Structure 1
Amino acid sequence: MADPRRFKPFRATLRRFMEAWTQVRIQEPAAEALGIDPERPTIYVLPRSSLSDGLLLESLTAGADLPDAATTHLLGDRQLPAQLALPTTRRRLLRRRRGAASPFQAAIEACRQSGQDIQLVPVSIFWGRAPGKRFGVWQLLAADSWRLTGRLRRLLAVLVNGRDLEVHFGAPLSIAELDDGRAPALTDRKAARLLRVHFRRMRTRVLGPDLSHRRTLIEGVARSEPVRRAIHQDAESARHAARLSRRARRYGREIAASMSYPVLRFLDGLLRRLWNHLYDGVDARGLERVKALAGEHTLVYVPCHRSHIDYLLLSYVLYDQGLMPPHIAAGRNLDMPVIGPLLRRGGAFFMRRSFRGQVLYSAVFKEYLHRLLNRGHPLEYFIEGGRSRSGRMLPPRPGMLSMTVDSFLSSQQEDGQSLLFVPVYIGYERILEEASYQRELAGGRKRKESPLALLRVLRRLREPHGRVALNIGEPLALDEFLDGEQPDWRQVAATGERPAWQRAAVTRLGETLTRRINAAATLNPVNLVALALLATPHRAIETPLLERQLALLASLSRADALPPGEPADWIDRVRQLGMLNACRDALGDLVTAEPAQATLLGWYRNNVLHLFALSGLTAFAFRHQTRHTLDDLEALLAPSWPVLAREFAIESPPRLRESLAEVLERLTALELLEVDGAGWRRTRSLAGEEQLRMLGRLMQPSMERGYLLLSVLLSEASGHFTHDGLTSRTRQLAERLARLTGRDSPEFFDRQLFAGLVANLERETWLSTDDTGHLHHDERLHRAARQVQTLFDPALRHRLQRIRHQAEA
């Protein structure tokens, strides 16, 4: 392949065959984005000598706005081919090339002789990595992998996978910039080294690190120093130590993934069929950001966890877009017959829900995780721990994050590994588990996963499930994060001991990642209709008013966060999915939701409620007070806002006053408020006042839960309640309030929400915990409670006090 003149009698015929037979599925980047200078000679560089790659490259460049790869360049008295291959020294079947001059050396000498620069463009070609709609034994055998391919296997790849190709062009490399005047052989080695690094990074990005034998990896984990130290700690005798060593290997087999390229290809075809059957489409955003980082950094994907589909969906999208799927941390409950082995070969490694009291298991798992990260394998885990039954982002759990930080700190002693977290938001128009979530929120027990349960879910595949959004958030470099948390962390890491500050840093790391996940959220028709419809007292609304409210929510959102279409289209979409009812009436059309539909819509509303937190809170402040100045509004909302920002996992603005002023201006522009001297008042328009009231109701449940908790807490002396005691008492009162007010919303009295509220009050220093676990507060909390209570109407305050007194009696 190195010289296009080879096989000259057959080349034209072979090229016509390649043009007719092959089809490129992914070509990146586009020709105009490469930055190739048309005035300079271009030489394409392939990672290995291959006739099929060369012919394909000629075919691609002939039909695109790219320099021709079939030509030759005349520089001085030297004639150079337009494509070259990196030299190889590996043994051939019949011969081994010894001392062969590098093809770049001739280009360097020609560049010097002619005074004309040459640009080298690296090209990576992958045959049959993603089989599209076809997959089978032959496609699996002919797949590209880290193993070198012989001529027979490459011929098989061309014949079997020629319709599913990936071609990746690299940035042009200037020989003139590389040439520093030294001997051509030195510049040659420099160019070859840079190109090999590029090809290795591209191969790592597409195929991931080389997948070593699972048995070797497990054996290495069992013999590692941390595991041997755990065995020595527990062993009572040499015989006991040998038994613990065998147990460590058994733990390794229980945990370790067995990822294989053939299974990945099989799953790609299987999941493609599933998505086409189950969903109307998958909208992926931000993957270009990941492609720019993959291959140079170890990536840890941290998606929100709403459905079992999450990890399948993310792996499929990454694989389909030319990226290596990650190893996925999965609960041991998924290691069930049939499903478990398939997931394990697709990259899942399994973990127990708790490591408490299991020193050896903990050591094995941590060492396995460390080796994955240290080798550069992309990783995926859910920092929420489990799926969100309420639809909102759950507080992050520190377990996997802490182990990742441990691994990162220890790796700094070895090779200074670079690690990036990639937040991922996944939003569904309809999820498969909606029935089980409703049952569990209503108090039902969580059913154990089993193949039979999977079969029950498969029966729902014929129902419409809409579209899915997968959005990549802003990546977070762990070293930069630690620089902000503890500037001397590198010196501490060199000691090999866990620093005292790490626990607090991991907590803040989890909070930062949850905020970045939520910041990447986008809206779909179900989210929007749920926000508007559930803000009505009886889950019924006139169609024109619903359309106006949807338009209002769209005006308060980012333009890139909105679904296509108009409010009428969104309503019709949700109706088609069976989540609301359209009623014909002589006085005008109505949109209603039955109790079961409303409960389900609440889950989708909670996915995106955080996007309207500040605007909803501002509108809520005008609910029972007609007029506010900016000073009054800031003083009124300042105590509540930090706690709400934590509850909704959103970035609190650096200056609340400025953000409130922006919200007031937007609400005024939308004719929901009017400027009144130095302040603002509710609009005199009945339609605008109704829309403002509905916007304020978005925050009403959260505000009522907070007020109820404060009223219970402050009814007793400081130090009376523990975390669990306060959470349980408040939850009971919230459930009673929901029943008395006719709310069919189990999410309103969800225990996790009250537990999180207590934790957030403590993080904001409104509460403190003593050594016995009792909560303490001071006069500041009393003043804040008195201020916040003015947001509520007297009837609600009286009802809350009456419910509390009845419970105490």
Structure 2
Amino acid sequence: MALFKFLKRKRPSESRDDSPDGTLQIDQGLTIGSRSPSFFGRLLHKLAGKSSFLESQQRLLKDLEEEGLLIYAVKYRSHLDFLFLNSRLSQADLRPPVFAFDLRPILWLPAFRAIRLIFSFLRHYLKEGAFPNPYQTGDYRELVLGREPSVLFLVGKAGYYRRFGFTERDPLHLLLETQRQTDMPIILVPSLIFHGKAPEKQQKGMVDIFFGHKERPGSLRKLVAFLRNYKNNILEVAEPLNVKEWLAGQPAENPSKSSLAFQLRRELIDRIDRHRRVVTGPVLKSRWEMKEIILHNKDLEKRMERRARSNNRTIEAVRKEADGYLDEIATDLNLTYVQIGERLLTWIWHTIYDGIDLDVDSLDMVKQAAQKAPLVYVPCHKSHIDYLVLSYLLFRHNLNIPLVAAGKNLSFWPLGTFFRKSGAFFIRRSFRGQKFYTDVFAAYIKTLVNEGHNLEFFIEGGRSRTGKLVLPKLGLLAILMQAVEEGYCDDLIFVPCAINYDRVLEEGAYLKEVKGSSKKKESLAQLVRARGVLKKRYGRVYVKFSQPMSLKTYMDRFNLDFDTMKPKERHAMYRDFAWRIIHNINNTSMVTPVALVAAVLLTTSKRGISLAEIKLITGNYHNYLQHREVPTVSSLQDLDKTLQDTLTLMVKSKWLDLLADEDETDEEERIYTVDDSNRLQLEYYRNNIIHFLLPAVYISSAILTKEAFEFNLEGIEDDLLFFRDFFKFEFVYDADENLGETINQVLAYCLSQRFIIEASSQFNTYRITHQGLKALSCFASLLRSYMESYWIVLKATKHLDKKPYSEKEFLKKINSMGNKFYKLELVERFESISRITFENAVKFFCEKGAIKKSEKHENGKVHVSYENGNNQEAVAYYGRMIDRFHRTSHFTIK
């Protein structure tokens, strides 16, 4: 069987009873063979196959087997762990360890061989006065040189005294000496075997006292845990250590043998301990203990005393108020709920999705970062499913799941209870006017960080209704950065994460909100109605992590110091770091087929577009994305097939109509039509990737403003700066971007595709080709709906001359004017009538003085109103600029 795959070979030392010097040479029972395994061996082999062993780690070990000899380092001595490794690795088609240092697996050998060994040992003892020593006889060294994988135990009482008294009996000393004498790399693989993923609890029970601690259980407890959790057993390997490279990196002063072995042992133990924390997380304290720690937080105590004095209340009353806030906020993590949730979600994903594609290489970066400091996952927020997808994937890939900041709107029964037990803590939509609540919430977050918990929050605040990333909110980010400043932890590592969907579950609700409808509050009734989603398919989900961002590294890079910062400088740092997170999420996003085709279909305001045009524009966009090395999903490698499949899916989903002529034999002449009612839906998915296309969109728009086909680069960078400012509330930009390099990259692409040709190298001029005019127009057309939205808002400012409008009334007026202009064909794109784009445009024109915003506070609520900003110069200037880029005369505001 695979459990005992190693076939015992006949070694020279075993072919005779006595060596020439008279020393008795015998089979020492160090290796396990393949014949007649015991009943327990067969059972263990079967159960081991149920355990989790990640494919990425199997591939890693496969590659390492080609490099050298693998020796698996386990922290504590255990027969069960040795046998488990032997069985599980052989099942993964890896070379299993066939012996373990300082362990003779006599009980697990075939009966005849075990009996023979016992008599051999007795014979040796009677003749030599001691049992055989594989270190002295060279058996261990022979097995190592024979490239036989093995297991090495790092910690134990017997091993400690043996190493202390006899250095030559230290397996690490043997390996170091052997490595010096051979070119074959010896690779030590720190290995961990988990019987479930439950974090360690602070309070120890009677079981721990009598049967051993969970991390180092007694033999009985370990066996029971293995059998009881056979479906949840996990094999994990930490970062391997190449002994040859490690020796080369040691100081030249030549430390003692025992010192080197000690340092190597400490390094392996540290790697195991760090990896254990990555999987199980910090010690889990009860909810009540956490509340007590927070309420005794020194800073919070001072604030409670101040609140009691200022409001003429007793300190007990204020403490009770704080306790109530903690009941509202705090998580109550229970692994049983997490395991139930995993099984439920597995069924849901198989029901509604065609699969979840996780970028495993990016996940490996996260695992490495998790060993250095607490992680803060920062995913984009496109769907309520985001909460579930990320925790599900982390749990399935043996990473400690984060505690998730969820909106208080999701705390309704029964979903709120399940979320809270699965690691969610709840946060109010706004902190405005709730100073004491903010103090309690901040103390809670800082305590979680101090305990070493990983966290997750959505920096956008709420879900994106447009498909683009929402500009970052700084509240929770500021609290986390203050936690580092105040010494709750030395560092925090932020992990931007992009989650892309072929289709989002909430697309229907989003479209209603974009058109102006109010958001419906989450409730049990809404949850019951949502069961209809289980009857549909929503394509695939794509998850990828960005390079983790250490706060300490960021501050060192820009020479920032909390101690010397003024409040404005601190706020600027929060803002800059937040924008870098958002930008990294954008850069990590994947281009999906649905998003790409949606962008193509919206290049024209016409209702119909031929298949030939679709193929041409798709090829142009795809080539540009490849030129910029933008991440795309694997299915786009076969562009033609994926394009046709996506169009078929869109027709089936009634996003498109196909006009098929029975007499038409040329597929290229097929016409696809898009109703106005579906353009907003397509825009949502186009916006998933528009940030990748923006450089080409902006520069194409600037080039097309030239009066002739021949142009130079004068004014291109100024136009780029205008766009970045004009759409500052729409899109996220790279803080470190070099505009000159961006322009050159887009020009290089256009030259490579012959969209433009060099007219004169002396005068740095270019000429637009015929095909280039079409291609540049396709890029520039992606901006048209935004231009129209901002023009509608500018036109609406004239109504503010008569009277101020409340925020709700003004947006309603803008929406009404947009529909009117669309019917009069003054605007071409139905998707330009978007409440969210209107809100962003109003915010921009308020900043520029074209609109004046007023706020009035009443009964804890903020009432916003707008009136004319009396800055006609700004109104006229932006009207002219919209006209210039839109090339439509009626857009000029006079």
Band the TM-score falls in, shorter-chain normalisation? 0.7 to 0.9
Residue 106 (str. 1) matches residue 178 (str. 2):
no
Residue 244 of structure 1 aligns with which residue?
318
Q: How does 1:101-180 map to 2 (within 5 A)?
A: 106-110=170-174, 116=181, 120-129=188-197, 149-162=217-230, 165-172=234-241, 174=243
Partner of 1:133: none
1:356 matched to 2:432 = yes
Match of 1:56 among 84, 98, 116: 84
Instruction: Say whether 1:19 aligns with 2:91.
Output: no
Matched, 1:683 2:769: yes
For the residues of structure 2 that align with 1:156 and 1:689, how far apart are their CA atoms? 73
Structure 1 residues 696 and 227, CA gap change in structure 2 (3 angstroms): same
Question: Which of residues 632, 641, 644 is equivalent to 1:561?
Answer: 632
State the alpha-carbon separation in 2 of the partners of residues 150 and 235 from structure 1.
53
Question: Aligned residue for 1:213?
Answer: 286
CA distance in 2 between partners of 1:429 and 1:32 (Å): 31
Q: Tell me how far apart the structure 2 counterparts of residues 787 and 745 of structure 1 sit (CA, whole Å).
A: 19
**Is the CA contact 1:645–1:651 (under 8 Å) kept in the aligned structure 2?**
no
Closer, same or farther in 2 for the Cα pair 1:766/1:355, shift >3 Å?
Answer: closer
Given the alignment, which residue of 467, 486, 491 partners 1:418?
A: 491
Shift of 1:702: 2.3
Aligned: 1:437 with 2:466: no
Q: State the shift of 1:278 in Å.
A: 1.0
- Report Cα offsets for 1:214-259 as digits up to 9, x if no partner: 2101111111112211210111499721122122222222211111
- The structural deviation recorded for 1:643 is 2.0
1:276 match? 350
Amino acid paired to 2:583: R
Structure 1 pair 682–42 and aligned structure 2 pair: CA distance change class (3 A)? closer
Check whether the contact 1:31–1:66 (CA below 8 A) recurs between aligned residues: no
Q: Matches of 1:556 and 1:392 in 2, distance apart?
A: 20
Q: Secondary structure at the match of 1:423?
A: strand
2:85/2:96 contact within 8 Å kept? no
Structure-2 separation of matches of 1:147 and 1:75: 29
RMSD: 4.2
* Bigger Cα displacement from structure 2, 574-583 vs 417-426: 574-583
Preserved CA contact (<8 Å) 1:401 1:506? yes
The one-letter code matched in structure 2 to 1:372 is: L
Distance, in Å, in 2 between the alignment partners of 1:39 and 1:653 is 40
Q: Report if aligned partners of 2:493, 2:548 keep a CA contact under 8 Å in 1.
A: yes
- CA change 1:510–1:463 in 2 (3 A) is same
Partner of residue 737, structure 1 = 821
Tell me the distance in 2 between the aligned counterparts of 1:743 and 1:781. 18
- Equivalent residue, structure 2, for 1:45: 73
Aligned to 1:92: none
Alpha-carbon deviation of 1:297?
2.0
TM-fit CA distance, 1:304 = 1.1
The Cα offsets for residues 169-214 of structure 1, whole Å up to 9 and x where unpaired, read as 4312638577976566655553443233212211111122222112
Report Cα offsets for 1:651-698 as digits up to 9, x if no partner: 27744344334323423443544555554444335xx65454333210
CA distance in 1, matches of 2:585, 2:826: 34
Secondary structure of residue in 1 paired with 2:378: strand
User: Given the superposition, is the C-alpha separation of residues 748 and 145 from structure 1 closer, same or farther in structure 2, using an over 3 Å criterion?
Assistant: farther
**Counterpart among 504, 510, 527 of residue 578 in structure 2:** 510
TM-score (normalizing by structure 1): 0.83
* Aligned residues of 1:395 and 1:756 also touching (Cα < 8 A): no
**Are the structure 2 counterparts of residues 740 and 472 from structure 1 closer, same or farther at C-alpha, using a change threshold of 3 Å?**
farther
Cα distance in 1 for residues equivalent to 2:622 and 2:237:
39
Corresponding position of 1:70: 99
Instruction: Return closer, same or farther for 1:151/1:76 CA change in 2, 3 Å cut-off.
Output: closer
- Residue 667 of structure 1 is aligned with which of 746, 750, 769? 750
Report the CA distance shift for 1:405/1:34 in structure 2 as closer, same or farther (over 3 A).
farther
What's the secondary structure of 1:430's corresponding residue?
coil
What letter is aligned with 1:651?
Answer: D
Give, in angstroms, the shift of residue 746 of structure 1.
7.5
User: What residue identity is the alignment partner of 2:387?
Assistant: Y
2:837 to 748, 753, 759: 753
Q: How do residues 519-534 of structure 1 correspond to structure 2 at under 5 angstroms?
A: 519-534=587-602
Gaps of 5+ in 1: 90-95, 131-143, 802-809
1:529 CA displacement: 1.8
Alpha-carbon spacing, 1:639–1:113, altered in 2? closer, same or farther (3 Å): closer
Mapped to 2, the partners of 1:709 and 1:638 lie a distance apart of: 22
1:4 Cα shift?
A: 8.2
What is the CA distance between 1:110 and its match in structure 2? 3.9
The correspondence for 1:302, drawn from 378, 389, 405, is 378
Moved more, 748-757 or 461-470: 748-757
Q: What is the TM-score with the length of structure 2 in the denominator?
A: 0.76
How many residue pairs are counted as aligned between the two chains? 766
1:603 is aligned to: 684
Partners of 2:300 and 2:440 within 8 A in 1: yes
- State whether structure 2 residue 880 is matched by structure 1 residue 797: no
Letter in 1 for 2:408: R
The farther-off stretch of 522-531 and 178-187 is: 178-187
Asked if 2 retains the 8 angstrom alpha-carbon contact of 1:275 and 1:281, the reply is yes
Maintained 8 Å contact 2:467/2:687:
yes
CA contact (8 A) 1:464 1:577 kept: no
Q: Structure 1's 120 and 431: CA in aligned 2 closer, same or farther, altered over 3 A?
A: closer
Q: Counterpart in 2 of 1:230?
A: 303
Tell me the SS of whatever aligns to 2:512.
helix
Deviation at 1:753, TM superposition (A): 3.2
Q: Secondary structure in 1 aligned to 2:99?
A: coil
Query: In the alignment, is the contact (CA less than 8 A) between 2:849 and 2:869 conserved in 1?
Result: no
Q: Deviations over 1:492-518 (max 9, x none)?
A: 48xxxx844211211122211111111
In 2, Cα distance between the equivalents of 1:524 and 1:54? Answer: 45
CA distance in 2, matches of 1:190, 1:595: 70
Cα deviation 1:381-413 (Å, max 9, x = unaligned): 1111111112211111111111111111112xx
Equivalent residue of 2:314, what SS? helix
Using the alignment, how far apart are the partners of 1:4 and 1:734 within structure 2? 86
Query: Which AA in structure 2 matches 1:634?
Result: I
Question: 1:168 is aligned with what amino acid?
Answer: V
Q: Secondary structure at the match of 1:297?
A: coil
1:792 aligned partner, one-letter code: H
Q: CA deviation at 1:491?
A: 3.9
* Partner residue of 1:641 out of 719, 723, 726: 723
Cα distance in 2, alignment partners of residues 270 and 761 from structure 1: 48
Do 1:76 and 1:110's aligned partners in 2 also have CA atoms closer than 8 Å?
no
Give 1:93's aligned residue.
Answer: none
Larger C-alpha radius of gyration, 1 or 2?
2
Counterparts in 2 of 1:744 and 1:267: CA distance versus 1, 3 Å: farther
CA drift of 1:313 comes to 0.6
Once the two structures are TM-superposed, the CA of residue 22 in structure 1 deviates from its matched residue by 1.8
Tell me the CA shift for residue 784 of structure 1.
7.8
Which of 416, 425, 436 pairs up with 1:340? Answer: 416
Aligned mates of 1:749, 1:200 — CA distance in 2? 56
